Chains A and B, each alone.
Chain A
Amino acid sequence: MNKTNILIIEDTKSESDLLKEILIANDYNIVGIATNYTEALTLFYQHKVDLIIIDVFLNGQPEGITFAETITITPNIAKPFVFLTSSKDRQIFERAKLTKPFSFLLKPFNELEVLYAIEMAVEKFYDQTNVYLSEDEDTVIGNTHLFIKKKNALKKVAIEDIIYIEVEERYCNIITLNEKYLVALSLTKITEFLDANTFSKTHRNYIVNTNKITEIILSENLIMLEGNHKVTLSDKYKDFIHKFKILK
């Protein structure tokens, strides 16, 4: 489980320092602090950024919105972001609102407000609202990572690292090569948001990353996975084998 990478775009040092302090205290990873538009873009492409906190006004110009617009209209690079602003000026907000979905954080902010804004941004961006605030769930499925709320902060697990998922009622055991996490995630959400070509159900309780399969033993109804993990294959779900080209 890794820390979530955050890029801060803020031209006032006291503000960025405060943010940095709060975020580090809550176990987030700061990949950089940009003070203008070009710097922000450079940092954005240099690092694997999971989330951006953008000050609307950089050096008196609404460059923050321009940055948000840039990453929104460029295909496949968009990431969740939070606008940081001291005024709720209507005109600025009408423009910012167009970079849907957007969340904002009003200055002055406290720790809870920052964390809340980050969570909201992730939920809205991946279109899975009311996850972190409810008592039933704690995980949002992103494009490349799962974002799991641990205590106050969001942690991430790369989806490609998952070997298999074991579903137990409202909880899921996520097994990666080295670790095992228990998260609150419903089966319906998994089937809805995880790539069905990669993840296949082999049993009522098992969802397997097909890329991690090493061997299928039909006689014993077993699937052998990387890291010597074994998963049961029930008759009901045997059809998934047809997805593979069987070597003869």
Chain B
Amino acid sequence: MRSKILFFLIFFTSVNFLFSQQNYNNLFEKKVKNSYSQFTREKNFNKAQLFFLEKNWDSTLVYSMKQLSSDKKKSELDNYCYFFRGVSFKEKRILNEAKNEFSKISKEFEFYKTVKNFLGQIALEQNEFKKAIDYFKEFENFPETNSFNIKKGEVNHNLGICYLHLNNYEKAELYLLKSTKIQEKEKDTFLLIGAYGDVANLYYNQYKDNLAIPFFEKAYLLSKKVKRYDLKKTTALNLAIVEENRKNLEKSIFYRKEAEKWNDSLTDQNKIWALAEVEKKFAVRQKQKEIEVLQVKNEIRETQRNGLFIIALLLLCIFGIGVYFYLQKIKKNKIILAQKENLDELNATKDKLFSIVSHDLRSSVNTLKSSNSKLMLNLKSNNYEELDGLLHKNAVVANSTYNLLDNLLNWANQQTDQIFFQKESLHLFSVIKQVEYNYKPLVLEKNIELKIEIDKNTFVFMDLDSLKIILRNLLDNSLKFTNENGVISIFTQDYSSEYIQLIIEDTGIGMSDAVIKELLQENTQLSKKSNKETIGTGLGMQLCKSMLLKNEGKLNIESQEEIGTKIILFLPKYTTNE
């Protein structure tokens, strides 16, 4: 039972300590601030001091250590630092370290008395009561207002507690009552409740119940005025124990119930705290959730943005493709237009060709027709002399008509690209001979001198039929335009490593430059029919040109009117490695 009350006693003292340190009085604070003004240059000290006043003990420790480890040694500054450190350690309940730091402070230090007071408090806490009494005795009658943060009531209280522990009840009573009086004067309710409690305990320990009970009751009544549930509970509980000891159970139960009530209130308060904590946590969780929701929203928004971006990109692509195809279409349309024009031109050419050929054919067949009726007449009248001439004429007409038709067929074949085409090595001389063979009668009839002077080792690389068509047409032309007794010579000249020059020269009527130009024009238009007396469409020349082109040859014309024409063919040579 006694020990229980003692426990409360210690509880009170610790409460006491707590309050004693809660506020420095103004004078002390000012002095500490002044101490800084002396050392404005020391930044670390500056910070240590600021943190000290803010009661940020850890930071104080860090900066004071920095200050101490710097080279500059000033005993005054060091003392402050040790002081700061001592206080910090004490506040952090590392008492031995605190003692250590305090002991380093020299006696000249401004707050040496405060240091002593602290040392006393430490001694008290470490149950070295006699030592504590030594420290405290000095301040027993210290003036109430001082600059060392020493409170008279507190000192007396501490002394009383020390003596109480040493079971020196008389002295304890003296000091505790003294501190009670001082605190009554100062109206420090919390401390007063503690002091009353302690005094009550003192008497109770000495079994002076009559003296003790009024103090217990005083403390209890005082505690009702304050809002500290722990104090209320303790005082009520103390009274309950006292009443219980007096066998006044009803009252005891009353106090105990009250104590319980206060305890409940305390726990309620704790519960409220806990609830608040839970609410806080809940709120935090809520916030967290909101954050998560926001994050998810953000993500969704981001994906949406990405989606939009991709869609935009796709649209752009589609647009690009569309533009590409549109351009292609325009291009194609252009090509189609060009082709259409080309086709129109070709069609016009064909129409023209058709009309010319029909006209030519009609006239030549008509010639044959009239010649045939003449033949029949002459045959009836047995006029045989006329027959030979007529037949010869017929042969010539038939021949030229055949040539025309042959060219027409070749032309058609070439236009449709249906002709078999194969380049090979050709013996120029024998090919010319083969072509010339068909014209022998005509040459004889016109009494034309045909000279063929070709190197018999000349080989060209061409399609045989193409070469024959070219030669046939050129020879035909030459014979057609060369008058009787004229000369036609066919000969070769070595031109280059690629070409053989084959020249067909006649002494015919020749052509004007304009006609040559027209003939050599690189279009498919048929030249106008300039020589009305002879059958001709210009088809032959066009055929020659395109055949030569296909065989990678060339053609040139030199001519003088009334003197003759020179047609120069460039034929690709045959080389053995081809």
Judge whether A220 is part of the interface by a CB distance below 8 angstroms.
no
Minimum Cβ distance to chain B for residue A92 (Å): 8
Judge whether B429 is part of the interface by a CB distance below 8 angstroms.
yes
Minimum Cβ distance to chain A for residue B462 (Å): 14
Q: Which of B418, B422, B429 contacts A133 (CB 8 A)?
A: B429
Judge whether B434 is part of the interface by a CB distance below 8 angstroms.
yes
Q: Which of B417, B438, B459 contacts A130 (CB 8 A)?
A: B459
Q: Which of A98-148 contact B (CB under 8 A)?
A: 106, 110-113, 116, 129-130, 133-135
Judge whether B146 is part of the interface by a CB distance below 8 angstroms.
no
Interface size class of B (residues with CB under 8 A): 10 to 19
How many A-B pairs have beta carbons closer than 8 Å: the answer is 42
Judge whether B125 is part of the interface by a CB distance below 8 angstroms.
no
Q: Which of B420, B431, B438 contacts A90 (CB 8 A)?
A: B420
The B interface is mostly helix, strand or loop, or mixed, namely: mixed
- A94 and B418 CA atoms in complex are apart in Å by 11
> Which residues of B sit under 8 angstroms from A90, Cβ to Cβ?
417-420
Write the B424-453 contact mask toward A (1 if CB under 8 angstroms, else 0): 010101110110011000000000000000
A110 touches B438 (CB 8 A): yes
- A92 and B437 CA atoms in complex are apart in Å by 28
B433 touches A93 (CB 8 A): no
The winner among A88, A89, A97, A134 for most chain B CB atoms within 10 A is A88
- A112 and B464 CA atoms in complex are apart in Å by 14
Q: How many residues of A contact B (CB 8 A)?
A: 18
Q: Knowing A89-B418, A90-B418 are in contact, say whether A133-B465 is a contact too (CB < 8 A).
A: no
B427 touches A130 (CB 8 A): yes
Q: Knowing A112-B430, A112-B433 are in contact, say whether A88-B419 is a contact too (CB < 8 A).
A: yes
- A214 and B309 CA atoms in complex are apart in Å by 104
- A172 and B429 CA atoms in complex are apart in Å by 26
> Which residues of B sit under 8 angstroms from A89, Cβ to Cβ?
418, 420
Minimum Cβ distance to chain A for residue B572 (Å): 17
Q: Which of B376-432 contact A (CB under 8 A)?
A: 413, 417-420, 422, 425, 427, 429-431
A112 touches B425 (CB 8 A): no
B465 touches A106 (CB 8 A): yes
> Which residues of B sit under 8 angstroms from A135, Cβ to Cβ?
456-457
B430 touches A116 (CB 8 A): yes
- A97 and B420 CA atoms in complex are apart in Å by 10
- A130 and B417 CA atoms in complex are apart in Å by 30
Minimum Cβ distance to chain B for residue A9 (Å): 20
> Which residues of A sit under 8 angstroms from B465, Cβ to Cβ?
88, 106
B425 touches A130 (CB 8 A): yes
> Which residues of A sit under 8 angstroms from B425, Cβ to Cβ?
129-130
A-B pairs, 3 with minimum CB distance: A93-B420, A133-B427, A112-B434
- Pick 28 A–B contacts, CB within 8 A, sort by A: A88-B419, A88-B420, A89-B418, A89-B420, A90-B417, A90-B419, A93-B420, A93-B422, A94-B420, A97-B422, A106-B465, A110-B434, A111-B437, A112-B433, A112-B434, A112-B437, A113-B434, A113-B437, A116-B431, A116-B434, A130-B425, A130-B427, A130-B459, A133-B427, A133-B456, A134-B456, A134-B457, A135-B457
